[in-house]
Amino acid sequence: MRPGVLALQGDFAEHRRALEACGTDPIEVRTAADLEHVDALIIPGGESTTMLKLVDRYELREPLVKHIEAGLPVFGTCAGAIVLASKASDGEPPLGVLDVAVRRNAYGRQRESFEAEIDVTGVGIVPAVFIRAPVFEDPGEGVEVLATWAGRPVAVRSGRLLAIAFHPELAGTLAMHRFFLEEMA
């Protein structure tokens, strides 16, 4: 399997290193042609509005949606989860491939960032780094909530899409990356 990491903005290098530590040879995806060479994709954390503007600038919206609808496994972390959502509280329109609304910066701004231990269904207890994290609201039919924090969903799954509000690539564990590669891809 050859995973890719959307490498337009955000912490894609950290995800690439995590995938390498999992024994894969990931590629950085920047063009529609790059998408043709991956069997799974991570959309990293970063700034979702900027990321979505770059997706449009580089004409990736339609190819991304096409590949996802054709079954490409995708793992969105923090801003990457916002990119996948059907509706966002503000910012650029998301891809609309995951039937969930997201509220950006739900836990506060940068100075309110925090770490917690989260119990993720199918994974177990994982350290989670929340930085300007979103929450998922109104999950549609077929969207399974895998974890909550403070009573709000922070990890969801729908088919081959996995979206989390936190940053596993910054937590010092490969548990979420392995779960994605082994269970979703």
* Residues involved in catalysis: 78, 167, 169
Please, which residues have CB within 8 angstroms of residue 92's CB and are 6 or more apart in sequence? Answer: 48, 49, 52, 53, 56
Cα–Cα dist 87/118, whole Å: 25
Cα–Cα dist 34/11, whole Å: 18
Q: Which of 91, 94, 72, 73 is nearest to 82 (CA)?
A: 94
Six-digit token string for 121: 């269904």
Cα–Cα dist 97/113, whole Å: 27
C-alpha distances in angstroms, 164 versus 26, 56, 135? 20, 23, 9
Contact 161, 98 (CB under 8 A): yes
Six-digit token string for 174: 């490969």
